[in-house]
Structure 1
Amino acid sequence: MELVEEEDEEPEVKPHRKRVNFRREMLRYQSLRNPISESHIPAPDEEEEMEDKEGNIWRNFVSQCSATFLAVFAVIPSRNLQTSIHSDGQLGKISLVCMYFSYIVGCLLTSLILRKIRAKSLLLISLFFHILYSVSNVIPSAYTLLPASCFVGLSQPAFWAVQDSLLLNYGLQYAVRARLTPHKSLRLFQTVTIITIHSAQILGNLLSSGLISVSEFHCTESWDIVNTSSSHQSSSSSSRSSGRQQQRNDKWTYTLPFIPIQARRSTEPSPPVNFYQLLTLIYLCMSVVAMGAVLIFFESPDTVLQRRVISWRERFKDIRRCLTDPRWLLAWAAAAYVGFAQGVIMCDITKLYGTDSMGCYIVGYMMVSFGTGNLLAILALDKLRLCATHPIFLSLGFLMNIGVLILTSLWKPGPSQSSELLLYTAMWGLADGTLQAQSQAVVTRYATEEKDTAMTGFRVCQGLGLIASFLSSIFAHNLMTSLYVALVLLVMGFLGLIFVANDIARRDRTSGTDQGSTDGQEADHSGANLTTENEAEVT
């Protein structure tokens, strides 16, 4: 009875109890375990300040996702249309070469950029380069498109690296507040970010295809076709008119976005709207809104983007260790194949199978199918991440890509086979997403001490594969040549992934046998932290 009475009286005493600060208790627990000095435990006033800053993580995360969505929405569909729209002088292909050559340079300078520039400033600079790229597509020429492509490619590695670091910061803070494990919390933020990025690609490509399909714009037309037709019409009308009409001053106006069109008489029908011009303006506006979202709503977090400073001597040792390992050399071929296959899709398949057969409106629909298949593969492998690096699953990704390459060499869609074309690109996206997720998982699991260097090497090899596919398209002018190169890279990469996966399995068995129970618990704790960092790199 006394226990029951005490339980009944407990709600009256509960409001007077001091609220337990979970973050402080966790830090105190870690200090007793690790041991850390008391100076690392924040004071009460510092704790309140930290709670105020942690209250902004959702606003920062939402503004960051919104800016990423708008930036990807504007840039990726424009990039996919480069080879179809700017085919004169192969300007579109050359712009892609410039973009991914700068991307490689950005990968090598990412660690230096993260140490010198804070998170918000880096996001704003990257989004400003996205605006320049949208402006270059509004006024396309070699003097505008090529420099803008270089700026976007240079900023992309740092843009995604700062997103990874911020996601890690959000995940750890939310894990403390929601009493979740850091691994689950970080995976939650990463899943939302991945869905945001792929949704932006899908919706952006849908918008481009929808507007181009209702427009009279054709990709084979040059950019001055409107002015040429207007001049022909004005010359023919002036030849039929009197001398007074010939001497009249032509009034020029600028339609969106800044393409001059000669004004018609009120009695004549107005010229048709070029919806591709409207599309480029929409992309430009979205890039500006993305930068404004970060500028207004995003607050600079108190986080260090580059936690460990690596000297050039240590980095050179890591690079030499990766280059001298034959398993790494073969695994780099898998990264090069991923980039090469994506380049074939962007440069050759969208042009030969899409634009030349059905029109450039189909390019957006093709990339929607490709992006949907890619997203499904990434989400499926995220659920099967424990066995994603198993040789059986690696063989499945290899066979899927082999099947796509064989189908590409034997079949070309006709003008009436749009449904088959979209299904074909969806299959390629599924195969590409499977192999890309598997190869990144193998790299992050195999690399322990030189993980950052390994991921940098993976991105560099992926960029080299993209450049190789563009150069092959520019100089060879033969799709079969690109398919043969892709097949060689795929076989070499698959062998490398199998060797690395077997080495990972053998290392896991050895480490599981040698460690005791107490050491095993500590290894699990450190392994959870390592997994969290790996997942941030994968995104």
Structure 2
Amino acid sequence: MDSRDEETPLVVNDLQIQTPKNYAKDVYILSSSFLLVFLAYGAAQNLETTVYKDLGTISLGILYVSFMFCSMVASPVVRFLGSKNALILGTTGYWLFIAANLVPSWYTMVPASLYLGFAASIIWVGQGTYLTSIARDHAKDYNLHEGSVIGNFNGVFWGMFACHQLAGNLVSLAVLRDEKLCAVLNEGSTSGTTLLFTVFLCIVTLGCILMFFIRKSDGKCEKGSPNSSVSFYSSLVSLLKSIITPLLDIRMLLIVPLMAYSGLQQAFVWAEFTKDVVKPAIGVSGVAGAMAVYGAFDAICSLTAGRLTSGLSSITFIVCGGLFAHAIIFLWLLLKYSVTGGILGTIYPLIMAAILGIGDGVLMTQLSALLGILFEHDTEGAFAQLKVWQSAAIAVVFFLCPYISLQTMLVIMVSGISVSLLAFLFLALQVEKVFSSHSHTP
């Protein structure tokens, strides 16, 4: 009897240890951290070209070029650090960039932009890896459908993340309604922005601190730092394999056009839509209002699309809907649209902003879910490829924007939709064909 009594607590302790974790809380902590960090960074980015002119434009161009190249090596870095540590380290780049804006010069902004390119690459690869990993752990522990959990977690994350555009642009709208500060910004003076960037620095600091509170995943993504005794040659070979191997997979090659388009459409909104569509119709202050509408619909659509995601079939349907919505806007601008006065002149840009936001919400949630489902054995490599192609497309638009017309850019966007849609539909058919052949194998 005594021995049984002594064993009983051990059984209870084992049961307590085996109680599955609920990772939903970590999704909200992760999403809140990104919301705060990018609320500050997004608002600061919007002011770069206005306040600092050439310094701001070149800094952003350098940032996205650095982001592109660093994304090529982000996969092994995230694998070495673990996704949680990569997320924490990644936030430091955004903090440093905001801090550099308090003492803007070539000696502070350029190094900060270069470092932010590295930090952004590991934070985004870490985000995709971490979110997919905890979704798999959650689905396994609670016996849920893996694709649905990945879709739901991505929907929550991207929905909350998209709110940074709404909040940040509402702040910008309030700032632009202050005539004195608006005049300071238009003159290119930095004297009126110290308080503004100090507030941004406090916000991004809070987001950095919050990142420490997410738990490590039990999945393989959090484990397996490489042995320090591995030779330099072996490390170099491993790095090259991490860059090249994903591109040897036909599935990845077929997704690349969609990845590149997702970057193109974001850069189009930031660089062309606000300058050539919104500003002529409703003025400088209206840009922030239109972008707030864009962010609101982006957030709503991200949450909705995430809830509807259950597998490749649902992803295919949702992606096609988002691309079709974008195609309507681009063809409208290319063939029919002209700036008009009155209430319609105000409503049209807001409608366009809403539909563009819906398309962005679709692409962000569905691309993340798609990569998580198809590339289970190399999640870091898959998300690194996503950021390589997105940042490359964004950098190209930033550098080409001053030299091409809106009509030329619209032709590029429609072409991008056509190529990415055809490649994606072919991917869906091929994957479905392979799945069907396996399901009929005795």
Q: Does 1:67 align with 2:33?
A: yes
8 A contact 1:168–1:186 mirrored in 2: yes
Which residue pairs with 2:292 in the alignment? Answer: 368
Find out whether 1:405 has 2:330 as its counterpart.
yes
Partner of 2:186 in structure 1? Answer: 221
Alignment-mate amino acid for residue 281 of structure 1: T
Offset of 1:506 from its aligned partner? 0.4
Q: Distance in 1 between matches of 2:79 and 2:131?
A: 17
Q: State the Cα distance separating 1:118 from its structure 2 match.
A: 5.5
Aligned equivalent of 2:206, options 259, 275, 289: 289
3-state SS, counterpart of residue 506 of structure 1 = helix
Q: Is 1:345 the equivalent of 2:269?
A: yes
Indicate conservation of the 8 Å contact 2:67/2:121, yes or no. Answer: yes
Matches within 5 A, 1:185-200: 189-200=153-164
Determine if the alignment matches structure 1 residue 334 to structure 2 residue 286.
no
Give the letter for the 1:279 counterpart. L
- Shift of residue 469, structure 1, vs aligned partner: 1.0
Contact 2:306 2:366 survives alignment (8 Å): no
Q: Is the 8 A contact 2:100 2:108 kept in 1?
A: yes
Q: Which residue of structure 1 aligns with residue 126 of structure 2?
A: 162
Tell me how far 1:290 sits from its aligned partner. Answer: 2.6
Matching residue's letter, 1:472:
L
Query: Which residue identity lines up with residue 68 of structure 1 in the other structure?
Result: F
Greater gyration radius: 1
Question: Is structure 2 residue 419 aligned with structure 1 residue 502?
Answer: no
Which runs of 5 or more residues in structure 1 are unaligned? Answer: 1-15, 26-46, 225-257, 260-273, 516-539
Quick one: which amino acid aligns to residue 138 of structure 1? Answer: L
Distance change (3 Å), C-alpha of 1:288 and 1:457: closer
- The structure whose RCO (Cα within 8 Å, separation 6+) is larger is 2
Instruction: Name the CA distance, whole Å, in 2 between partners of 1:335 and 1:304.
Output: 26
Match of 1:206 in 2: 170
Q: What corresponds to 2:231 in structure 1?
A: none
Q: How many angstroms does 1:457 deviate by? A: 2.3
Which amino acid in 2 is paired with 1:131? W
Shift of 1:513: 0.4
Q: Does 1:473 align with 2:437?
A: no
Query: What do residues 435-477 of structure 1 show as CA deviations (whole Å, max 9, x unaligned)?
Result: 4544555555555655543433232111111111112113x14
SS at match of 2:186: coil
Structure 1 residue 156: Cα displacement: 1.5
Letter in 1 for 2:337: W
In 2, are the aligned partners of 1:102 and 1:154 still within 8 Å (CA)? yes
In the alignment, the residues of structure 1 paired with residue 51 and residue 341 of structure 2 have an alpha-carbon distance, to the nearest angstrom, of 19
Give the CA RMSD over aligned residues.
3.9
Tell whether the 8 Å contact from 1:84 to 1:351 is kept in structure 2 after alignment: no
What is the rounded CA distance, in whole Å, between the counterparts of 1:67 and 1:394 in structure 2? 27
1:469/1:371 Cα in 2 relative to 1: closer, same or farther (>3 Å)?
same
Q: Name which of 126, 131, 150 aligns with 2:95.
A: 131
Q: How does 1:231-246 map to 2 (within 5 A)?
A: none
Correspondence for 2:4:
none
- Measure, in 2, the Cα distance between the counterparts of 1:506 and 1:169: 27
Correspondence 1:393-472 to 2 at 5 A: 394-409=319-334, 410-413=336-339, 417-443=345-371, 445-447=373-375, 452-472=380-400
Partner of 2:438: 511
8 A Cα contact 1:335 1:436, kept in partner? no
State which of 393, 398, 420 in structure 2 corresponds to 1:493: 420
The offset of 1:208, in angstroms, is 1.8
Structure 1: which amino acid aligns with 2:347? S
Is 1:388 the counterpart of 2:314 in the alignment?
yes
Q: Distance in 1 between matches of 2:293 and 2:209?
A: 31
User: Deviation of residue 130 (structure 1)?
Assistant: 1.6
Tell whether the 8 Å contact from 1:118 to 1:305 is kept in structure 2 after alignment. Answer: yes
AA at the equivalent of 2:73? L
Shift of residue 483, structure 1, vs aligned partner: 1.8
SS at match of 2:314: coil
Identity of aligned residues (%): 20
Distance 1:318 1:507, change over 3 A: farther
Query: 1:314: how far off?
Result: 6.4
Q: Distance in 2 between matches of 1:351 and 1:418?
A: 15
**2:93 alignment partner AA:** F
TM-score, normalization: structure 1?
0.66
Distance 1:443 1:197, change over 3 A: closer
- Structure 1: distance between partners of 2:145 and 2:373: 18
Matched residue SS, 1:223? coil
Unaligned ranges ≥5, structure 2: 1-6, 227-233
Rounded Cα–Cα distance in structure 2 between residues aligned with 1:330 and 1:58? 32
- The letter for the 2-side match of 1:513 is H
CA change 1:322–1:131 in 2 (3 A) is: closer
Deviation at 1:426, TM superposition (A): 0.9
Which amino acid is the alignment partner of residue 501 of structure 1?
Answer: A
Q: Distance in 1 between matches of 2:204 and 2:410?
A: 35
Cα distance in 2, alignment partners of residues 209 and 149 from structure 1:
26
Bigger mean CA offset, 397-406 vs 303-312: 303-312
Letter in 2 for 1:471: F
The number of residue pairs the alignment matches comes to 421
Structure 2 distance, partners of 1:19, 1:471, is 65
The answer to whether the Cα contact below 8 Å between 1:65 and 1:196 also exists between their aligned partners in 2 is yes
| Alignment correspondent of 2:409 | 482
Seen in structure 2, the aligned counterparts of structure 1 residues 482 and 20 have a Cα distance that, compared at 3 Å, is farther
Structure 2 length-normalised TM: 0.79
Contact 1:83 1:347 in 2 (8 A): no
1:189 CA displacement: 4.9
Paired with 1:454 and 1:210, the residues of 2 have a C-alpha distance of 39
Q: Specify which of 155, 160, 181 is matched with residue 144 of structure 2.
A: 181
Deviation at 1:82, TM superposition (A): 3.2
What is the one-letter code of the residue matched to 1:282? V
- State how far apart, in whole Å, the 2-side matches of 1:278 and 1:491 are: 46
